[in-house]
Structure 1
Amino acid sequence: MNLKESFLLLALVAEIIGTIGGFGSSVFFVPIGNFYFDFYTVLGLTAVFHLSSNLSKIFLFKKGLNKFLLLYIGAPSVVFVILGGYLSKIVKSDYLEVILGVFLIALALLFLIKKNLVIKAEKKESIIGGSLSGLTAGLLGTGGAIRGLTMAAFNLEKSVFIATSAFIDFMIDFSRTIVYYQNGYIGSEEIKYVPFLFVIGLVGTFIGKKILNYIPQSKFKRISLVLILVIGVFTLLNYYVLQ
């Protein structure tokens, strides 16, 4: 299996797990991509991959969108992802990789240990969560974990959770794709992967949706957090092994 084939296979795995976890594939795709490309190329690939991925989720989980969350999480997410996208050009990629790994581990451990820790289902918390989600998405390539944890406070049905999260993610990805293109992160090398990633987004989401039918709602959040913790550890190991 050559480099391109192994990358696309892992991208499919990331999409399936991301759909099951409910936080989107970027939380897994970004660290995986770092094994194959430089950090800025991964940011560009993640943005274009997510556009097709989230369109698939919106279509397959079309049981309804939560308008409150679209406004109070989605709107600030878009504003801050643009800010984060421009900041990513200023901060060195080495620092961004370390920050990403520590961020994922700390976030997962916090909510795995503090099982009763709950974010209030109110406007203020939604705006803060949306802002942080957008900022980390633009800066690190992934912000779905923060958005997912914020949305979890509203105890949404799985299909509504994923559809609403995907719609917000789509707005974020559309915005940051423009910024990343201006930053020079998306070039001819990245474009050639787009058709394959589009198909992977559709297939991975479909498979993830089928598997999700067998996962109880009570285990939904814990599985996501464990997956995020594991990928955070691998991100740091990847960085320090390659140094």
Structure 2
Amino acid sequence: MAAYFAAIVSGTIGFGGALLLLPLLIEVVGTMHAVPLLTVIQFIGNLARICFGFQQIQWKPVSLFLLSAIPFSILGAVSFAELPKDLITRFIGAAILLFVMLKYVGVLNLKISPFLLIAGGSLVGFLSGLLGSAGPLGAAIFLSLGLSPVAYIASEGTTALAIHGVKIITYHQYIILAQDLWLLAAFMGVAMIAGSWSAKQVIEYMPQKKFERYVTVLLVVLAIYLIVYGS
């Protein structure tokens, strides 16, 4: 049920599912296994988001983003046990808040700035490998592209799928998940697929401007939460 609800959240606004699942997984399997397990579950959830919106994926920004996100996600995955998580989480919150503010006053325009997509990909990739997810920051970047709700969810999901795939391979070199954890991931993955389908029914007919305002407000709220609580 938790995975289904998390998939609805992330499938509707492009982020938030990992933040809901990670505390639960830490309680169930412990901190060391929670991040790799969450990565497998997110991989399945993002694959579903891609399948449900494949025809609307915007490949150019996705490619630019992944150009740096993939190698930096490997670096983050290798380093994820070494750096202070609370401090990094607060940094993500500050980065999201700054990004939204700069977009609001018209300083950033990612439509004509491939450099910012590449720079954003490196930051999101590294932080995703380090913390298990940096979805809100990646969502803030893709939201600024002015895509339709389905295109935004599918495109951001494509980048997340690639990052999580690389992280699964990297984590596997250092942490071996037991068979029962893979079974848990499979069951939660099925729930993620169902939740992603439900989310598509919600956003498919939502006006783009209304959707962008809705997601922007949630990003600001989440950013403030991350800065204050660090988790």
Q: TM-score range by the shorter chain?
A: 0.7 to 0.9
Alignment partner of 1:165: what SS? helix
In structure 1, which of residues 12, 33, 36 is the aligned counterpart of residue 25 of structure 2? 33
Relative distance call for 1:153 and 1:47 in structure 2 (3 A) is same
1:31-69: CA deviation from partner (whole Å, max 9, x where unpaired): 443444433322111111022111111111122322211
1:196-217: CA deviation from partner (whole Å, max 9, x where unpaired): 1221121010111112235432
What's the counterpart of residue 53 of structure 1?
Answer: 45
Q: Does 1:210 align with 2:198?
A: no
Identity level (%): 23
In structure 1, which of residues 134, 138, 141 is the aligned counterpart of residue 132 of structure 2? 141
Q: Which amino acid aligns with 2:156?
A: S
Relative distance call for 1:113 and 1:67 in structure 2 (3 A) is closer
Return the TM-score normalized by structure 2.
Answer: 0.84
Partners in 2 of 1:27 and 1:197 — Cα distance?
Answer: 15
Which region of structure 1 is more displaced relative to structure 2, 33-42 or 45-54? Answer: 33-42
Deviation at 1:23, TM superposition (A): 3.1
What's the counterpart of residue 105 of structure 2?
Answer: 116
Q: Which amino acid aligns with 2:153?
A: I
Q: Which amino acid aligns with 2:38?
A: T
1:129-183: CA deviation from partner (whole Å, max 9, x where unpaired): 0100100110011122222222223211222222111111111111000111112
Relative distance call for 1:160 and 1:120 in structure 2 (3 A) is same
Q: Is the 8 A contact 2:6 2:17 kept in 1?
A: yes
Partners in 1 of 2:9 and 2:16 — Cα distance?
Answer: 8
Q: Which amino acid aligns with 1:181?
A: H
Q: How many residues align?
A: 227
Which region of structure 1 is more displaced relative to structure 2, 220-229 or 161-170? Answer: 220-229
What's the counterpart of residue 90 of structure 2?
Answer: 102
Return the TM-score normalized by structure 1.
Answer: 0.80
Relative distance call for 1:231 and 1:207 in structure 2 (3 A) is farther
Partners in 2 of 1:125 and 1:111 — Cα distance?
Answer: 11
**Can you give the 5+ residue segments of structure 1 that lack an aligned partner in the other structure?**
1-8
Deviation at 1:87, TM superposition (A): 0.6
Relative distance call for 1:106 and 1:238 in structure 2 (3 A) is closer
What's the counterpart of residue 168 of structure 1?
Answer: 159
Partners in 2 of 1:124 and 1:205 — Cα distance?
Answer: 31
Q: Which has the higher helix share?
A: 2
What's the counterpart of residue 223 of structure 1?
Answer: 214
